[in-house]
Amino acid sequence: MESRRKSGINLPPTMSETTLRLDAFSSPPSSKLRSRTSNLGSPMSNRSPRTISNLSSSPSSKSATCSDRFIPCRSSSRLHTFGLVEKASPVKEGSGGTNNDAYSRLLKSELFGSDFGCFSSPAGGSPMSPSKNMLRFKTENSGPNSPYSPSVLGHDTSLSNEVSTPPKPPRKVPKTPHKVLDAPALQDDFYLNLVDWSSQNVLAVGLGTCVYLWTASNSRVTKLCDLGPTDSVCSVQWTREGSYISIGTSLGQVQVWDATQCKKVRTLGGHQTRTGVLAWSSRILSSGSRDRNILQHDIRVPSDFVSKFVGHKSEVCGLKWSHDDRELASGGNDNQLLVWNLRSQQPVLKLTEHNAAVKAIAWSPHQCGLLASGGGTADRCIRFWNTTNGNQLNHVDTGSQVCNLAWSRNVNEIVSTHGYSQNQIMVWKYPSMSKVATLTGHSLRVLYLAMSPDGQTIVTGAGDETLRFWNVFPSVKTPAAVKDTGLWSLGRTHIR
């Protein structure tokens, strides 16, 4: 106790003077207690801090200068790498500092872009103030309309210009047909549909009273049938499998033939006059006639037709089933485009924006519910429809009668054939409707159009009695085939 009194400090019984060491101050020994009291009472005092060892058992540990947070040393941080801080370099007197700064700025501009360092913090401001370069290595440098504008992730434009590939040039479409076939007696009648190309690569053409089959693989021509002197062919349409073909006649009949055996399978009645258009779904054959009716035929049942759609006020000249077999689009000489389904005898949509007959109809294979239609001489427009809500999405004036439309399966493009007055074939890119190619060669209106099974070639027919084959679309990109082994190498089987 005597030793504790001599030191002037009251120590707990468990501590000795050797445990707690106070560094010596310049003040006299009599002021030690006063200095301790002052430092404890005022943490922000201007006096020199004390060095204390072994704070674990000291009751005054809260007065230490240690912080409860770790503050890194900014001098060792690489803030210049991210453009967050840019300190001005000191300029020595008489050393041409202005010239050095200009040279440094020019060098940075050439190496890193013109905007490098433009967003450094202002003089006297906080070095951690928000910067446009936060989370970015470089600043954006592109104009709003630049085709090489970087994405919202913040890539630099100069780097994007160097790395990104330039836009592809427009696809070159041959301007001349690679094959021309004579088609004598091919009728120049807007309301007929006399050409179709099967999935088995066989072209069917109606010439007068006969139907001829042209096999594309070997150019062999086969005469399928002759309707006789009292009848004539008004329409032809292959099934999706390509083995059966339906023929519409001027007497209103619909005949179904087995093309592999050149044998007639069924004759279906129901129409009062010529059947100018046919369309197959997976199971149903639809036929449109000058009698303004649309009949649904099912060759699996004995009756001529299973249902009748009545809605057009003039001849039906266009028919197309959607790819999912849910909707049937029909066009007529009454300028109407109607959309039907098998659950109702009334059209679910009536689209009346066309000002002329609607023969050209095509469903998009790329987007469900997207329908394209083309109008005749007084209309000249291709219109696009959303059949889900009936809205018109777009339309383009082609300048001449629209006779046919067909979507490409390989690319999102559409081809149209035209009549008066230019008789041209046009390829359009959808949805921009920019022209890919304009093909000419027919001397009369191009009334007939069909596409090859691979989707690359189209055939067009006209009243000039020629069939012309054009390589219009690119081939479809297919992944590399996987080699089958074991039981799977025996080939595909279909379970029905």
Residue 391: inside a domain:
yes
> Residue 395: what residue type?
H
Model confidence at 484, pLDDT cuts 50, 70, 90, reads: very low
370 and 279 in a common domain: no
Contact between 214 and 183 under an 8 Å Cβ cutoff? The reply is no
User: Measured between alpha carbons, how far apart are the two ends of the chain, in Å?
Assistant: 107
Which pLDDT score is estimated for 485?
34
What is the radius of gyration, based on Cα positions, of the chain?
43
108-112, 136-140, 214-218: segment of lowest average pLDDT: 136-140
Whether residue 170 is predicted with pLDDT greater than 60 in this model: the reply is yes
Is residue 178 in some structural domain?
no
| pLDDT at residue 358 greater than cutoff 90 | yes
Which pLDDT value is given to residue 349? 97
Q: How confident is the model at residue 268 (pLDDT cuts 50, 70, 90)?
A: very high
| pLDDT tens sequence across 85-121 | 555 555 555 555 566 778 888 887 777 766 555 544 4
Q: Who has greater pLDDT, 296 or 483?
A: 296
Is 384 within the bounds of a domain? yes
Asked if pLDDT for residue 183 goes beyond 90, the answer is yes
When pLDDT is averaged across residues 237-245 and rounded to a whole number, the result is 96
Q: Return d(Cα 162, Cα 137) in angstroms, integer.
A: 16
Helical residues (DSSP H) of 32-75, grouped into ranges: 32-41
**Does some domain include residue 39?**
no
Domain span including residue 283: 191-310
pLDDT tens digit sequence for 66-92:
556 666 665 555 655 555 555 555 555
Q: What is the pTM of this model?
A: 0.65
**Residue 385, in any domain of the structure:** yes
Q: Measuring CA to CA, how many Å separate 217 from each of 200, 256, 456?
A: 10, 24, 15
The whole-number pLDDT of residue 106 equals: 81
Query: Under a CB-based contact definition with an 8 Å cutoff, are residues 350 and 336 in contact?
Result: yes
Domain boundary among 289, 310, 331: 310
Total domains in the fold of the chain: 2
How far apart are alpha carbons 474 and 218 in whole angstroms?
22
**CATH number of the domain encompassing residue 367:** 2.130.10.10
- 464 within 8 A of 444, measured Cβ to Cβ: yes
Does 155 map to a domain? Answer: no
Same domain, 299 and 365: no
Mean pLDDT of 405-412: 96
Q: Which of 253, 276, 310 is the last residue of a domain?
A: 310
Are both 306 and 196 inside the same structural domain?
Answer: yes
Please state, as a whole number, how many other Cβ atoms lie within 10 Å of the Cβ of residue 489: 8
The mean pLDDT value for 205-219 works out to: 96
Kindly report, residue by residue over 416-443, the tens digit of the pLDDT. Answer: 999 988 899 999 999 999 999 999 999 9
Q: Are residues 302 and 394 in the same domain?
A: no
Residue 79 lies in a domain: no
The pLDDT value recorded for residue 75 is 58
Q: How many beta carbons lie within 10 A of that of residue 3, not counting itself?
A: 9
Q: Same structural domain for residues 268 and 362? A: no
- Do 363 and 281 reside in the same domain of the chain? no
**pLDDT above 90: residue 28:** no
pLDDT at 103: 83
Residue predicted with more confidence, 461 or 153: 461
Between β-strands 466-471 and 179-182, what pairing exists: parallel, antiparallel or unpaired? Answer: antiparallel
Phi-psi label, residue 482: left if phi above 0, alpha if psi -120 to 50, beta otherwise: beta
Query: Is 220 among the domain residues?
Result: yes
